Amino acid sequence: MPTSHLTHPTQPPRTGYRIERFTLDNGLRVVLAPEPDCPVTGVAVVYGVGIRAEPQGRTGFAHLFEHLMFQGSANLEKFAHFRHVQGAGGTFNGSTHLDYTRYIQTVPANALERVLFLEADRMRAPRITPETLRNQVDVVKEEIRVNVLNRPFGGFPWLRLPPVMFDTFPNAHDGYGSFTDLDAAGVEDAEEFFDRYYACGNAVLCVAGGFSVEQARKLVERQFGDVPARPAPSAPVLAEPDLVEARHHSYVDAAAPTPAVAAAWRVPDPVADLTGYLPYVVLSEVLTDGASSRLVSRLVLEERLATGVSGYVGFMGDPFDVLDPTALLLQANLPAGGSAERVLGVIGEETERLAAEGPSAEELSRVQARMTALLLREGDTMIDRATRLAVLELQRGEPALLNELPALLASVTAEQVGAAAATLRPHRRASVEVVAGRDR
């Protein structure tokens, strides 16, 4: 197992995962994290295409294509991928994020080559037919109906806040997709999307778990070495200026039994300015982590203005898998008849207090202990480790940062958290309010 350097109680934790990197001639980047005695292996393939890379007129295409990648490939019929992974005693999944799409498997260590063959086969060419395309368009549309249109608080706030905060298409559009765009998709559109975004040069393969580096390298070269080389596409232009005045939007959710509100502020670039970014990650937890946190204590327990409060950095909740621009989000569910304006006012008062005095030593150490423990626990599972390493390689070219993140979080100071809180001013805030259907 990896070593954890905890020689002194005050020393920040640090993992010692062994990490090997190389790049195939076709441009595929490979990260290996061997644990030779581990009985399982996690395999993650991450492509640098997510919601924010979708072209106009193709909203929802990144998510649609995630579905299509499970519908057969060059040498495998529909559902064969499922059958071969499950037949080996493994599990699999895929997910679409703002800035990447991932495909993951966990299998017994002796099934590594099987999974590498499966991933390489669909990296060469997924099997896209008019029938599978129409079927998966219908599946995605049904997901939208179930998860957004007919669910209380559907899409709140991750779909509802970006168009309030941002102006450009990549940052502001609906990542689930419009029915019009999805229905207009044809096989040629899907093939062009694959050729453009699912290139070896736009992907990272990470293998973590029970293998030797020599063994894994041979298997990777055997399975992926002849995948045709294609360069990575140009990155989408995401930059846009910060807000200079507050923006607020309210909408009626017919299915919501009670109101809710969410607010967001831009934060420093998580890749180019990690030092400036990390205090906001800690700040979100100081404000909302547990009953003794600033906002839960005041909004929920003392003044009963909210029934629940949460905070995080990144619209999809993971602060270490997103590119700039991104934001710190705070959201609250309110009791019937609750006031979103009053909740936003309390948030402003508490961030001003933090800006003036900073967090106490006790609340900062509590939050940092929980955050570092969570990072360490996530790294224990081979597939979480493989995914995190792959994304760090894709977005930063620095997978070994995973070993340093717990210590970096633990090194954030009270002064840095207070300075971050001082930037959460009303004129930089985007907010969205859910009006409960019964309150119309």
Same domain (yes/no): 421, 302: yes
Q: How confident is the model at residue 379 (pLDDT cuts 50, 70, 90)?
A: confident
CATH number of the domain where residue 289 is located = 3.30.830.10
Alpha-carbon separation of residue 21 from 30, 31, 341, 438 (angstroms): 6, 5, 51, 56
Q: Is residue 235 part of a domain?
A: no
Q: Is residue 8 part of a domain?
A: no
> Over 70: is that where the pLDDT of 88 sits?
yes
The predicted-structure confidence for 20-57, as pLDDT tens digits, reads as follows 999 999 999 999 999 999 999 999 999 999 999 999 99
Same domain (yes/no): 160, 214: yes
Q: Is residue 14 part of a domain?
A: no
Residue with tokens 């599990």: 91
> Over 60: is that where the pLDDT of 6 sits?
no
Alpha-carbon separation of residue 394 from 89, 122, 194, 320 (angstroms): 29, 19, 18, 12
The predicted-structure confidence for 155-167, as pLDDT tens digits, reads as follows 999 999 999 999 9
Question: Of 189, 224, 259, at which residue does a domain stop?
Answer: 224
The predicted-structure confidence for 173-219, as pLDDT tens digits, reads as follows 999 999 999 999 999 999 999 999 999 999 999 999 999 999 999 99
Question: Of 160, 192, 224, at which residue does a domain stop?
Answer: 224
Name the residue type at position 41: T
* Terminal-to-terminal C-alpha distance of the chain: 57
Instruction: Find the length of the chain.
Output: 440
Q: How confident is the model at residue 438 (pLDDT cuts 50, 70, 90)?
A: low
Q: Name the DSSP class of 48.
A: S
How many domains, in total, are found in the chain?
2
Task: Using DSSP bridges, classify how beta strands 430-436 and 247-253 pair: parallel, antiparallel or unpaired.
Answer: parallel
Determine the pLDDT at residue 74. 87
Q: What is the mean pLDDT of residues 426-438?
A: 94
* C-beta of residue 100 within 8 angstroms of C-beta of residue 81: no
Q: Is residue 12 part of a domain?
A: no
Same domain (yes/no): 255, 362: yes
Contacts of 17 (CB under 8 A, 6+ apart): 2, 33, 379, 385, 389, 402, 403
Among candidate residues 14, 95, 192, the one with its CA nearest the CA of residue 390: 95
Q: Which residues pair with 216 in a beta bridge?
A: none
Same domain (yes/no): 153, 300: no
CA distance 305 to 299: 5
Q: How confident is the model at residue 110 (pLDDT cuts 50, 70, 90)?
A: very high
Same domain (yes/no): 169, 57: yes
Q: Domain range holding 271?
A: 247-439
Same domain (yes/no): 113, 71: yes
